[in-house]
Structure 1
Amino acid sequence: MNDGAKWSDLTTRLGSAIAMIVVGVVGIWSGGHVFHVLIALICAAMVWELVSMISPPDGRNRAVMLGALTGAALLLAVYIPVGFALPLLLAPALVGFGMLATNRTVYMAFCVMILLSGFGMMQVRDDMGVGWMLWLVVVVVITDVVGYFAGRAFGGPKFWPAVSPKKTWSGTAAGWVGAAAVGLLFSINTGVGLQLVGISIAVSMASQMGDIAESGLKRKMGIKDSSNLIPGHGGLMDRFDGMLGASVFLLIIGQSVGFPPAVG
């Protein structure tokens, strides 16, 4: 592949990325209801994409229905006590399991992941503030961006050629380095311990696992992108797959590692 072909989609990707960054920053900075609605809409669209990918064409109405149910459940869950929110976060997965004719376990696993991820992001923003939400987003974005450019620039052995032929080990490792740098910068500027560097690398790895899981699903379904909602990037699942893995990981391990790390 020549250099022009390698970078031919860069302008489109950058334009869409800038638009997503603006919307994301406004949502994160605003917090509260604005952020909750934004995350609920994103998760609803991802479930719509998920059902559209794994169901035959006659499942389009079900895709809309399950997407709407996901958004509504997530939006309600953040405003009620956690004990009552938990059944709501699992209900769309079980409803879809009963409605769909094929790939039901795949739907259930990804749907739960999407709902927990959305709930986790809301918890980070509501309980820890804008700074830690930005840290999470920056770790995931840097992992993706540094991995993309390093992989294109350096090439080398493929990470999983049968499923994701463009991903390389050089890009994967570069993502870890980028995440470590983010963790170090946040550690220095917030005064928390250097454990944040290790946590940032682990979150980076979790984001890559989310990316790999979505790539495997697309390969299984024989499609390139989850949808065409975002020019140059495919669908929302294509862009937020890393955030799915990262936020679910942080939600699960946050209590055990005492996140955010103590100051000093």
Structure 2
Amino acid sequence: MSAVNEKWSDLAVRLASGGAMVLIGLWGVWAGEHVFHAMVAIICGLMIWELVRMLQPADAGVAAQLGLLAASATGASIYLPVGFALPILLAPAMVGFGQLKSYRAIYMIFTVMVLLAGFGMMSVRDDLGFQWMLWLVLVVVATDVVGYFAGRLIGGPKFWPRVSPKKTWAGTVFGWIGAAAVGGYFVVTAGAGPQLIGISVALSMASQMGDISESAIKRRLGVKDSSNLIPGHGGLLDRFDGMLGASVFLLIIGPFISFPPGIG
């Protein structure tokens, strides 16, 4: 196989499974409320299952239990006042910390991140509506897709070759540009202030931080993918790591920037 063919060898499978994910995801975002809550809860539970399977592969039972607990906590949290939701969201991290035999800090940090991201996504959809949940998704997708093609077409210096050998600076920067374009589109169509462009780029960076963090964990554990649930993409953690970073970042900064900026 030539170097060019090898570079694009996974494209067809990635596009097919990626297209299916987009359709299912858009349906869930459009439906909102209980449908979206259930979808997010299931995804969060599966991500924790993948995480535990990577950290403690010999104990499938613990992975299943903690995944189910995480899904239940995520789903329940959105129906509770925030003051009661927060301890529910943190509980799976504390329970798993006591059950795992190694890599407890990694498990605890990532579990908190996953569940807070799930809560953040549900809150954006419930409080701000379909339009702004779509904006969040498009920022992350543009970062990933534009970065993927730019990195392979342009190449150049690697971002962090020891951890993520395929990620380039060209792909990283063009991911920011793609996110800025999404922000600019919503400035024009949704009447948001121009600060939304900067926020979109910041979320793009947070998305890439989530991606590189998950890559660093996989490199440390010696695994290629978090699971094989999604053909061409690996597992849900591999696919949604960017959404985790972006969602948690938006959850943190939202109260400080009166999001969406320039509206209401």
| Residue identity in the other structure for 2:17 | S
Separation in structure 2 between the aligned mates of residue 65 and residue 117 of structure 1, nearest angstrom: 20
Aligned mates of 2:37, 2:229 — CA distance in 1: 21
2:160 maps to which residue?
160
Aligned-pair Cα RMSD in Å: 0.9
Write the distance in 2 (CA, Å) between the matches of 1:200 and 1:12: 28
CA distance in 1, matches of 2:179, 2:246: 12
Give deviations 1:210-234, integer Å, cap 9, x for gaps: 0000000000000110000000000
Query: What is the one-letter code of the residue matched to 1:151?
Result: G
SS in 2 for 1:165: strand
- Tell whether 2:121 aligns with 1:121: yes
Structure 2 gaps, min length 5: none
Name the SS of the counterpart of 2:141 in structure 1: helix
1:132 aligned to 2:132? yes
In structure 2, distance between residues paired with 1:135 and 1:113:
21
The answer to whether 1:146 aligns with 2:133 is no
Report what 1:193 is aligned to.
193
Question: Which amino acid counterpart does residue 149 of structure 1 have in structure 2?
Answer: F
Output the CA distance in 2 between the equivalents of 1:104 and 1:7. 37
Deviation at 1:56, TM superposition (A): 3.5
For 2:6, the equivalent position in structure 1 comes to 5
Question: 4+ residue runs of structure 1 moved beyond 6 angstroms?
Answer: none
Within 5 Å, which residues of 2 pair with 1:213-228?
Answer: 213-228=213-228
2:44 partner letter: C
The residue number in structure 1 matching 2:238 is: 238
Q: Which residue of 1 aligns with 2:105?
A: 105
Shift of 1:175: 0.2
Cα-to-partner distance string for 1:144-187 (whole Å, 9 max, x where unaligned)? 00000000000000000000000000000000000001000100
Structure-2 residue corresponding to 1:35? 36
Question: What is the CA-CA distance between 1:263 and the residue it aligns to?
Answer: 3.1
Question: In 2, distance between residues paired with 1:12 and 1:209?
Answer: 25
Aligned length: 263
SS of the aligned residue for 1:8 comes to coil
Offset, 1:195? 0.2
Q: Which residue of 2 aligns with 1:25?
A: 26
Question: CA-to-partner distance for each residue in 1:228-260, whole Å, 9 max, x for gaps?
Answer: 000000000000000000000000000011111
SS of the residue 1:80 aligns to: coil
Find the counterpart in structure 2 of residue 89 from structure 1: 89
Whole-Å separation in 1 of the counterparts to 2:223 and 2:86 = 33
Amino acid at match of 1:46: M
Offset of residue 2 of structure 1: 1.7
Amino acid across the alignment from 1:42 = I
Shift of 1:80: 1.1
- Structure 1: segments with no counterpart, 5+ residues: none
Deviation at 1:107? 0.2
Paired with 1:180 and 1:196, the residues of 2 have a C-alpha distance of 8
TM-score by length of 1: 0.98
